[in-house]
Structure 1
Amino acid sequence: MSARLRDVVDVLRTAYPPELAEPWDAVGLVCGDPQATVQRVLFCVDPVEETVEAAVECGAQLLVSHHPLLLRGVHGVPADDPKGRLIHRLVREGIGLFCAHTNADSADPGVSDALAAALGLTVTGPLAPHSEGARTGLGRICTLPEPEPFGAFVQRVAGGLPATAWGVRGAGDPQRSIGSVAVCGGAGDSHLDTATTAGVDAYVTADLRHHPAGEHRAREEVPGTRVPALVDVAHWASEWPWCRQAADVVAAALPGTVEVLVSTRRTDPWTIHAAGAATDPGRAPE
């Protein structure tokens, strides 16, 4: 038995409906012959040199990535352009590329469900549902098996995700009890207010910026105001658990016909982490 590329695409479109994608997004099949036979599929976060090379090495006929390759409009894909070079390599090697981005973020289950599972959390619903009562939407509201101090929760997050140079950062009282959590895979500081309104104890997301995070924490000084403690993780790490989720979806839908693999190549752009040497910001490092 064998599957066609279109069979895998149909499974992915059903699991991550393209109509859930944001209007600005670019999802779906980027290259590849829908009639081509597919025996092996590789899943990754980023369609970059490392993951394309991994697809070639493992003999995959389809690379499924979370992030789009051609997000912004292009007028050509010449081989001397970084993205054009990838397209040429994929076509030469007979490898298709399929992207599921914000449609995978909002699907049920989706990216944030996979993040919650990696952290040992139980999902109770979406953080920002598409409509009242909907199960689809960005982010997820979750509960812990048992409340635990924020310091221990930050360690839980670090232990549940792949290590990166970015690491895991927490903003909040280490002794604060954490029982309810909001998670949002990828950049999620636009939902700081949503997490606050949800009344959760902590919010886990990626790419938290200085000013939004600082302004969020400053609200704690207002009497009667309680805001979630913050956990900031690497963008790539927050979305990598989705690769296994998507791979399992395809394996379950096409049993015995397609082998699914998850890329373990870290494509987070940050490669070095150096802790500051001076404990007093007014004193130069010795």
Structure 2
Amino acid sequence: MTATLADLRRVAERFWPAETAEAWDRVGLVTGRDDAPLRRVLLAVDAVGATVDEAIEWGAGALLTHHPLLLRGVHTVAEDTAKGALLARLIRGDCALLAAHTNADSPEQGVSDVLAVRLGLSASEPIVPGLEPAAGLGRVGELDGELSLAAFAERVAAALPATAGGVRVAGDPERLVRRVAVLGGAGDSLLDHPAVRGADVYVTSDLRHHPAQESLEHALVVGGPALVDVSHWASESLWLEGAADRLAEALPGVEFRVSTIRTDPWTFAVGGDRPLSW
């Protein structure tokens, strides 16, 4: 029996229930019809021109992304707008679009959980517990042994796909770290959380100047973590492979593939510097 889009929606809802998404989020089906036959599904972090083209050229019946295309309100889907043009291409290509965003961030085998595993954290637990015992925002856990901050940053870089921005670090390169907090995607909202303040290092993305600076100054007075800032796209891309495997097991006969296109928006960097102590 041929699978349909409804089957994919049913399984996605079981893995990443929409009710667990943040109130501001927009997850689930964006475009597509439930009775459409489904033979191929492409997974990506972002719905952009390159991943939409990849899905259609591959003959995918659905593109499943982490980031919602219509997260913020739009007032037109005219094809002279970026989002309108993408939606038109998907509809003409008979390719549905679904998103699993904050509902995929928090569960076991979700974005932050996968990041914690890839960095070698043991006995990790949510920074902000969710409704389920092992679910919640972020993760905090222990490395098997102490590493210098510089060595740990190298581990982070090796675990993530390469991007133009690489890995930025704030802290003494020789500082020893063992307890690690992580949050895939933008994470400066948790800089003041006790679980983050109690870690030796915090790994996340999109750290802004003032919150990061204030966190470091606070650490000089009462202690706190070093900061490791990574690509937003890279930190969330690690989740896709496991998600594709789980979906393939639940929907035999449907082919799942993870896009290899880098949708990190930055293409190159110049003028970087390194600490003189390295």
Q: Kindly indicate whether the alpha-carbon contact (under 8 Å) linking 1:247 and 1:261 is maintained by their aligned counterparts in 2.
A: yes
Please give the per-residue CA displacement for 1:60-106, whole angstroms capped at 9, x wherever unaligned: 11100000111122233111211011111001111000001111112
1:173-206 Cα deviation digits (max 9, x unpaired): 2122221211101000010111555621111000
From 230, 235, 238, the equivalent of 1:233 is 230
User: Which residue pairs with 1:147 in the alignment?
Assistant: 146
Corresponding residue number in structure 1 for 2:241: 244
Q: Normalising by structure 1, what TM-score?
A: 0.91
Q: CA distance change for structure 1 residues 104 and 278 in 2, over 3 Å: closer, same or farther?
A: closer
Q: Secondary structure at the match of 1:124?
A: strand
Give the structure 1 partner of residue 164 of structure 2: 165
Count of aligned pairs between the two proteins: 276
Identity of aligned residues (%): 53
Alpha-carbon distance in structure 2 between the residues aligned to 1:43 and 1:216: 35
Distance 1:279 1:206, change over 3 A: closer
Unaligned stretches of 5+ residues in structure 2:
none
Which residues in structure 2 correspond to 1:178-193 (within 5 Å)? 178-193=177-192
Separation in 2, partners of 1:95, 1:123: 40
Could you say which residue in structure 2 is the equivalent of 1:273? Answer: 269
What is aligned with 2:110? Answer: 110
Partner of 1:156: 155
Name the amino acid aligned to 1:243: L
* CA displacement 1:24-76 (0-9 Å, x = unmatched): 11100001111111111110001010100110122211100000111122233
* Alpha-carbon distance in 2 for matches of 1:142, 1:259: 35
SS in 2 for 1:175: coil
Query: TM-score, normalized by length of structure 2?
Result: 0.94
Output the CA distance in 2 between the equivalents of 1:151 and 1:129.
30
- 2-structure distance, mates of 1:227, 1:278: 22
Q: 1-side partners of 2:27 and 2:47: how far apart?
A: 13
Displacement of 1:278 = 11
Secondary structure in 2 aligned to 1:71? coil
CA separation of 1:137 and 1:45: change in aligned 2, threshold 3 A: same
Of stretches 225-234 and 191-200 in structure 1, the one that deviates more from structure 2 is: 191-200
Equivalent residue number for residue 283 of structure 1: none
Q: 2 CA distance for matches of 1:44 and 1:183?
A: 21
Match for residue 284 of structure 1?
A: none
Task: Say which SS state the counterpart of residue 270 (structure 2) adopts.
Answer: coil
**How much does 1:124 deviate?**
1.9
Letter in 2 for 1:85: A
Q: What secondary structure is seen at the aligned counterpart in 1 of 2:249? A: helix
Q: 1:7 to 1:123 in 2, by over 3 A?
A: farther
Q: Distance in 1 between matches of 2:202 and 2:182?
A: 6
SS across alignment from 2:26: coil
- 3-state DSSP of counterpart to 2:126: strand
Structure 1 stretch 87-96 or stretch 112-121: which is displaced more? 112-121
